[in-house]
Structure formats: C-alpha cells, structure tokens
Amino acid sequence: MASRLDVRLDPSRRQRLEELARERGVPISVLIRNLIDDAYDGVVLERRRRAVKRLVDLEVEKPPDPGMLSREMEESHEPGGLY
C-alpha cells in the first residue's frame, strides 16, 4: 500500500519538476518515484563497486580448479574419510 508524503518546494524547484514531468510525459508523482528509484539504483551500484574494489584490494590468491582441488584432497586424505 502506498503512503502519502508531503514535500514543500520553493517555486524554482516546483517549476523544474513540472518541466521534467512534461518532458517525460508523466505526472509529477510518477516522475518523483522514478527519480527516487534512479537515485537508489545509483547508490546500490556504487556500493557494489566499492565492495568489488575491496575484494580486489585483498589480493586473494586465485582459487584452484575444483577438479584439481578434489584430486589434491583425495591424495592427502584417505579416500572416503571425509564422510
């Protein structure tokens, strides 16, 4: 269910909103929802970029091939000993 939010705007910002809404051919309420969604998507994208950068900065060794890792584990442990 949608909730109501009252926002007070100075005349200049109100005029900008109306202009954007006309340009996009949507009501102001739809425009505002779209702007909020776009801003939120931008924040989420930036969070993901920072997380990727932190992961890259960890300089973690590339994990071995799963098949090779399985063979190494079998060689170093008794077969069936993991179950």
Which of 33, 74, 68, 10 is closest to 24 using CA atoms?
Answer: 33
This model's pTM is above 0.85: no
The pLDDT of residue 75 is above 90: no
For residue 9, what pLDDT is reported? 96
| Residues 18 and 27: beta-carbon distance below 8 Å | no
The pLDDT of residue 83 is above 60: no
**DSSP SS3 for 30:** helix
For residue 70, what pLDDT is reported? 83
The residue length of the chain stands at 83
State percent of the chain over pLDDT 90: 63
Per-residue burial over 11-36, b = 16 or more CB atoms within 10 Å of its CB, e = otherwise: eeeeeebeeebeeeeeeeeebbeeee
